[in-house]
Amino acid sequence: MASVVTYPELISEVDSTEWIKDLSRPEAHLLLQVIEYFKNSPNGQVADLLSSLDTDSASFIGSLLSGTPLLEEKNSVAYFHDCLEAMKKSNPIVRIQELKEQQTKEKLTEDETFELQQHLLSNLDKLDEEDKVLLRQLSQN
């Protein structure tokens, strides 16, 4: 989030915000607000952004900016992409889908297999029959 506040032009790197909406973390909702602010106000200033947010959100962003080492502009795009990928991995539904797709193309590593099992187990009540069969197969290997 600090990278987007520091370099608002990074919002152009976000293809879709739908997957962010699926995240349950409160920071995800705040990130959506920041993205929306800079989309609507491309020349907006950080002070204006902070004044448009509730006190807790503004305080959170302020502490992020003061506690995060200065990010160089030349590294900002790569860093932001890394952050987005880490966020995507924290969304179990998206991550399950990614790992299942990867599994059809190539063998998953031991860590990826474990991660897929954990995501499936944590969403056991939401699994369809196909995913239950997959979980059994992963558990037997």
Confidence of residue 92 (pLDDT cuts 50, 70, 90): confident
Contact 81, 6 (CB under 8 A): no
Query: Residue 33: what pLDDT?
Result: 96
Contact 34, 4 (CB under 8 A): yes
CA distances from 19 to 24, 63, 74, 90 (A): 11, 26, 26, 11
Question: Is the pLDDT score of 24 beyond 80?
Answer: no
Question: Is the pLDDT score of 47 beyond 80?
Answer: yes
Give the separation between CA 117 and CA 102, rounded to whole angstroms. 14
Nearest to 26 by CA among 68, 52, 64, 57: 57
Question: Is the pLDDT score of 141 beyond 80?
Answer: no
Cβ-based neighbour number of residue 127 at 10 Å? 15
Question: What average pLDDT is seen over the chain?
Answer: 90
Confidence of residue 86 (pLDDT cuts 50, 70, 90): confident
